Structure 1
Amino acid sequence: MESADAIVIGAGHNGLVAANLLADAGWSVIVLEATPHPGGAVRSGYVTAPGYLSDLFSSFYPLGYASPVLKGLDLGEHGLRWTHAPEVLTHLMPDGRAATLSRDIARTMESLDRFADGDGERWRTTYAEWRSVSRPMLDTILTPFPPVRHGLGVARSLGAPGALRLARRLLLSVREMGAEMFRGEGATMLLAGCALHTDLSPEEAGGGVYGWLLAMLGQQYGWPVPVGGAQKITDALVTRLEQRGGRIVYNAPADRVLIARGKAMGVTADTTNYRAWKAVVADVPAPALYLDLVGERWLPPRLAEDLDHFRWDGATLKVDWAVRTRMPWRNPAAAGAGTVHLGADLDGLTRYAAHLATGEIPPDPFLLLGQMTTADPSHSPEGTESLWAYTHLPHRREWKPDDIAAHVERVESAIEEQAPGFKREVIGRNVFSPADLESENPSLVGGALGGGTAAAFQQLFLRPVPGLGRADTPVDRLFLASSSAHPGGGVHGAPGSNAARAALARDRAVLGGAYRALINAGNRAVYGTGTGLRGTR
């Protein structure tokens, strides 16, 4: 049997963040990773053609760049450097027009004024409003729930009337938000395309906040990428952890969380027992943790019932290409953008989302496309492009190869329409179906990238299920660190940080009694009497 103060299940970026923070506190840490590679969905590789580097899953990191969690780890000291494409984002309309978001606000304004006079100034006003609350807003989003201190900071910045207006704005659909804030289609499409990075439709209440957040981060910080690929984030986290004595065990899929007297005591992985003296931290989806690794014996009955209603976000199809030339865009506005959205106007996005909601494959896919060499020239030879695109599919556990092949053809045809000649310049291609994504990273269940839906009914204190809005679980010394926990998906490290801080709080002897009493009271309030950290089942 091996032992450490903390056993961390999963070497995704959240698991690595948690491990680093615990190591910073002087804990010994062992990380158990099911695959041969660290990083989870933050990895790079050569999968299309020699010399063409691809970010295999996630790419472009406005939240990671702005995250106080990742900033606090000083990953620049461990090799992480950021770079930007000339422009942040271009949304290509079906009619050929383009709306562009640039870090230079004057360029953004000029683009939006082509759609409606005055929308550039309206964008400037919106951005000024964002800047007035951006720091406390990010702290509110990325810290444990309830975010009392940082939420009060937002309220102080805006005053009571402004705070109420902001609260209303956060509840709007992206269609309603765009209609209220702008007159032309361009600005609304920048918001809507960003909102569609989640699994929400343009009509869904609360969807506007995601579009607003990503667009405003793009205006403030850009959407940067690591020099040398997404893998550099993971490499920096691994290097930092190992320098502090942490250890990662690969090809070690966790089989069971070991529990005695209601406390997590360790983990069994690949026939080896790992004893945890202080905490078990799990960077795995909530259903996998509770139902597979813990088991219903140790859970309040209502928690198992609530997990029956846990909803995944949509499946994903991702394609990477090696293109031997620069992209032959019909509209040159797309040439300098790191990210390009294409395939739909606002009504088209609504139709696309409706197909997904009814379990159908959208006949006209909306694409989120990344020009990696445009953002970072080290991704492929000069004058070429390392390209990727992904689109959402209904969440299914099984897909027919013919359905995937047909949808790849739709994706490529959508690009060809906006970039004539694209297909003949492709010299290599890699397709990750939803099943392929899960095979590469078991946490991407059914190709879901977000660890669960972004819908309002599964956010804040409702994530992953009602009453578990924090990293703490009904099992003492067991903490959830994955994107299934608040605040959800994105490469920002907040779930890992929240779990580490909860584990440290639990361990402080002076706070131990109060901590257990608080968590037990919360569990009883949600699940009824007879549930608590000390109870056994």
Structure 2
Amino acid sequence: MPGPILIIGAGINGLVAAADLAARGKPVRVLERGPTPGGAVRTEELTLPGFRHDVAAMNLSMFAGSAFMAKHGPEMARHGMDFVPIPRPFAQALEPGDHLGISTDVEETLAGFASEADRATWRALMAEFPERAGVVGGLLGTPMRRGPLLRFLWQSWRKLGTAKSLDTARFLATSPRGWLDETFEDPRLRTALASWGMHLDFAPDIAGGAIFPYLEAMAGQALGMVIGKGGADVATRALVGMIEAHGGSVECNAEVERILHENGRVTGVIAAGEKIEASTIFAGLAPKHLRRLLGDGSGDRRFDRGLETFRHAPGTMMLHLALDAPVPWAAEALGRYAYVHVGRSVDVAATTYAEATAGLLPATPLLVVGQPTLFDPSRAPAGKHTLWVQARVVPATIRGDAKGEISARNWEDAKEPMTERILDLIAEQAPGFRRTILARTAVSPLDLEAGNPNLVGGDQICGSHHLSQNFLFRPLRGFADGSTPIANLQMIGAACWPGAGTGAASGFFAAQALR
């Protein structure tokens, strides 16, 4: 008798796949190397007791709007899934005291714009957003398989016509700066939107990155943001509860050591010294780790080489803070937003990216400052707060310091001075900020990888989304549907189309395709 469906990795994609399959009566067994499930969607007391910090992902908007939640939302709610809606999703801290924010109140958003022309452009973009979101969102929600992709392209062309279809294709290939320069007058607004590209390895001048600032801007305006009630791990706990309720299992401290296959077909795994048979395996692994577990290889030299040469994005450094009070922003309005990006201009962001990719500790890393307890006070003791800070982007391997101040060439020694650099950038925007800090925990790119090997070099998106490694080329040409040369071995996770984020589409695609 063939064994159950095995899923390697209890990240968001693996858990979504397992939950959907289990709900359909399929025998499912999830094997996770770490002590807890969730991957990048976990919440822990990283500083002081009672302060719950999201380890990596904080924003659950993609998960809330996912196809999985559309199908299973009521059951997830029964297992404790609960979201906190946020009407002011993000803002940009510019020159100290100046900011620009996006709110679901359009008049509030427009009041921060310096240009009347930009206000008119914003209204026009909002008006066309439902149509464009239907196309762009539809593409991101389409598996990269011949049938679904051809149907999507045909239907989109029928709906848009040739001219609009070509305009959309051009937009998908445009850099953030290219789109922003041709769309808006105010450099402050351009800066605020360009910051979103850095979340997915799109520096301002990288082709193909315009889509992300656009989607985050329009979705933030139209829908706001959601976070998990009590922590992002509410999603993980609900998924595990759903899997177990349908007879599946999630086993932690069960590291897979080898994927077994014979005659071009998967047969099982070796995990924690045990041989486990399986009829189908979903592998939620970074490409380098999938290649490692295949031993002598898949039998397809190009596929194996593609896994070995898959390119990861620069690293991220995390800083988790327990605070005695909210951040005392000089621009007081910043204390009303879930995310505050700290970065003064598009040019500074471009320089930061160039420094990091050259192996230099950036002089002014782009900061993403998350303020979850402003909206969900259950994450900290009464009157206290947590702060979630990402420094994007930083190198995994340090060759120098762009400011010439940090002599360390390894993260063990560089973590503390980089922490001070990050705190200085926040304090510049919030005088007195340091006096609010009760405790702090810094997490270097290599710490991130040690805790989750899929975050190679601290790459939180499991692979660059540049055009050469996106769409039909994610993770490599001919396998963008997650298939492999080994029958019944399926790739899932952020390294697969449609890429990073909590939407878990690759896991859901794989589960839906299994009949």
User: Shared fold by TM > 0.5?
Assistant: yes
1:221-270 Cα offsets, whole Å, 9 max, x none, are 21210111100010111011111110111100001111111110111101
Residues 298 and 365 of structure 1: is their aligned pair in 2 closer, same or farther, counting only changes over 3 Å?
A: closer
SS at match of 1:427: strand
Aligned partner of 1:463 among 471, 474, 497: 474
Q: CA RMSD in A?
A: 1.8
C-alpha distance in 1, partners of 2:304/2:265?
Answer: 18
In structure 2, what is the equivalent of residue 24 of structure 1?
A: 23
Task: Judge conservation of contact 1:479–1:503 (CA < 8 Å) in 2.
Answer: no
Task: Give the deviation of 1:196 after TM superposition.
Answer: 1.2
Letter in 2 for 1:255: E
Alpha carbons of 1:186 and 1:62: their partners in 2 closer, same or farther (altered >3 Å)? farther
C-alpha displacement of 1:396: 3.1
- Residue 137 of structure 1 is matched in structure 2 by 136
Unaligned runs of 5+ in 1: 505-537
Bigger Cα displacement from structure 2, 476-485 vs 47-56 = 47-56
Residue 415 of structure 1 corresponds to 426
Counterpart in the other structure of 1:243: 245
More displaced 10-residue stretch of structure 1: 236-245 or 294-303? 294-303
- Matched residues in 2 for 1:474 and 1:503: separation? 17
1:326 aligns with 326
More divergent stretch after superposition (465-474 vs 232-241): 465-474
Asked whether the 8 Å contact 1:85–1:374 carries over to 2, the reply is no
Q: Which residue of 2 aligns with 1:78?
A: 79
**Secondary structure at the residue paired with 1:214?**
helix
Q: Could you say which residue in structure 1 is the equivalent of 2:89?
A: 88
Question: How do 1:42-81 and structure 2 match up within 5 A?
Answer: 42-74=41-73, 75-81=76-82
- Partners of 1:252 and 1:63 lie apart in 2 by 29
Aligned length: 499
Q: Deviations over 1:147-174 (max 9, x none)?
A: 3333444434433222211211121111
Corresponding position of 1:116: 115
Q: For 1:369, what is the secondary structure of its paired residue?
A: strand
Q: CA deviation at 1:139?
A: 3.0
Kindly provide the CA deviation profile for residues 297-316 of structure 1, in whole angstroms up to 9, marking residues without a partner as x.
43311222333431011111
Matches for 1:9-20 after TM superposition, within 5 Å = 9-20=8-19
Residue 490 of structure 2 is aligned with which of 452, 456, 479? 479
For residues 326-382 of structure 1, the C-alpha deviation after alignment (integer angstroms, 9 at most, x for no partner) is 110000120100000003311111111110221211011110110011131212234
Residue identity matched to 1:417 = E
Q: Residue 460 of structure 1: CA displacement?
A: 1.4
Q: Which moved more, 1:212-221 or 1:244-253?
A: 212-221
CA contact (8 A) 1:312 1:395 kept: no
Counterpart CA distance in 1 for 2:431 and 2:372 is: 20
Partner Cα separation in structure 1 for residue 325 and residue 86 of structure 2: 17
CA contact (8 A) 1:44 1:55 kept: yes
Residue pairs, 1:520-535, within 5 angstroms: none
Cα displacement string for residues 34-90 of structure 1 (whole angstroms, at most 9, x for unaligned residues): 011010000001111222211111111222222223322212232111113341111
Q: Return the match for 2:214 from 209, 212, 215.
A: 212
Q: Kindly state the Cα deviation for residue 412 of structure 1 after the two structures are TM-superposed.
A: 0.3
Counterpart amino acid of residue 315 in structure 2: A
- 2:169 aligns to what SS in structure 1? helix
Asked whether the equivalents of residues 287 and 308 of structure 2 are also in contact (C-alpha less than 8 Å), the reply is no
Q: Contact 1:145/1:461 (CA < 8 Å) preserved in 2?
A: yes
CA contact (8 A) 1:319 1:390 kept: yes
SS at match of 2:89: strand
Q: Identify if the C-alpha distance between structure 1 residues 155 and 221 changes in structure 2 by more than 3 Å, giving closer, same or farther.
A: farther
* Alignment correspondent of 1:268: 270
1:532 corresponds to: none
Which range is displaced more, 93-102 or 14-23?
Answer: 93-102
Letter in 1 for 2:425: A
Q: Provide the rounded CA distance (Å) in 2 between the counterparts of 1:4 and 1:66.
A: 33
In 1, are the aligned partners of 2:197 and 2:204 still within 8 Å (CA)?
Answer: yes
**Paired amino acid for 1:420:** P
Alignment of 1:366 with 2:377, yes or no, is no
2: CA distance between counterparts of 1:86 and 1:385?
19
Shift of 1:447: 1.0
> If the length of structure 2 is used for normalisation, what is the TM-score?
0.93
Q: What are the equivalent positions in structure 2 for 1:269-348 lying under 5 Å apart? A: 269-276=271-278, 278-289=279-290, 291-348=291-348
Residues 133 and 154, structure 1, Cα contact 8 Å, conserved in 2: no
* 2:149 aligned with 1:150: no
- Cα separation, 1, equivalents of 2:161 and 2:100: 33
Amino acid at match of 1:240: M
Partner in structure 2 of residue 535 of structure 1 = none
Deviation track 1:361-415 (CA, whole Å, cap 9, x = no partner) reads 1011110110011131212234332101111212339933221211111100000
Q: Which whole-Å deviations, capped at 9, do the CAs of 1:186-215 have from their partners, x for residues lacking one?
A: 321232011111112101111111111222
**1:184 is matched with which residue?**
186
**Counterpart for residue 160 of structure 1:** 162
Q: Counterpart amino acid of 2:288?
A: P
Contact 1:201 1:349 survives alignment (8 Å): yes
Distance 1:455 1:490 in 2: 15
- The residue aligned with 1:450 is 461
Regions of 4+ moved over 4 Å: none
Q: Corresponding residue for 1:257? A: 259
Partner amino acid for 1:118? Answer: A
Q: Report if the CA contact (8 A) 2:87-2:225 is conserved.
A: no
| CA pair 382-123 structure 1, distance change in 2 beyond 3 A | farther
SS in 1 for 2:199: coil
Distance 1:222 1:149, change over 3 A: farther
**Equivalent residue letter for 2:377:** P
Alignment partner of 2:441: what SS? strand
Aligned residue identity for 1:132: E
Stretch of structure 1 that moved more, 238-247 or 189-198: 189-198
Letter in structure 2 aligned against 1:400: W
Distance, in Å, in 2 between the alignment partners of 1:85 and 1:217 is 12
Q: Given residue 190 of structure 1, which amino acid in structure 2 is its aligned partner?
A: A
TM-score normalised by length of structure 1: 0.89
User: Do structure 1's residue 492 and structure 2's residue 491 form an aligned pair?
Assistant: no
Instruction: For residue 298 of structure 1, give the secondary structure of its aligned residue in structure 2.
Output: coil
Counterparts of 1:215-226 in structure 2, within 5 Å, are: 215-226=217-228
Please name the residue that 1:516 is paired with: none
User: Paired residue for 1:388?
Assistant: 388
User: Which residue is 1:8 aligned to?
Assistant: 7
Q: 1:3 to 1:433 in 2, by over 3 A?
A: farther
Identity of aligned residues (%): 32
User: d(CA) in 1 for partners of 2:411 and 2:97?
Assistant: 33
CA contact (8 A) 1:137 1:151 kept: no
Whole-Å Cα distance in 2 between the matches of residues 134 and 10 of structure 1? 31
Match of 2:280, SS? strand
Contact kept in structure 1, 2:51 and 2:381, CA below 8 Å: yes
Q: Measure the CA separation in 2 of the matches of 1:412 and 1:49.
A: 19
CA contact 1:8–1:30 (8 Å) conserved in 2: yes
| Residues 151, 102 of structure 1: alpha-carbon distance in 2 compared, 3 angstrom cutoff | farther
Residues 68 and 247 from structure 1, CA distance in 2 versus in 1: closer, same or farther, beyond 3 angstroms?
same
Deviates more, 1:341-350 or 1:148-157: 148-157
Q: Report SS of the residue matched to 2:191.
A: helix
- State the alpha-carbon separation in 1 of the partners of residues 364 and 162 from structure 2: 44
Which sits farther off after the overlay, 265-274 or 128-137?
A: 128-137
Structure 1 counterpart of 2:172, from 170, 173, 181: 170
1:156/1:124 CA distance change after superposition, 3 Å: farther
Answer yes or no: is the 8 Å Cα contact 1:472–1:499 preserved in 2: no
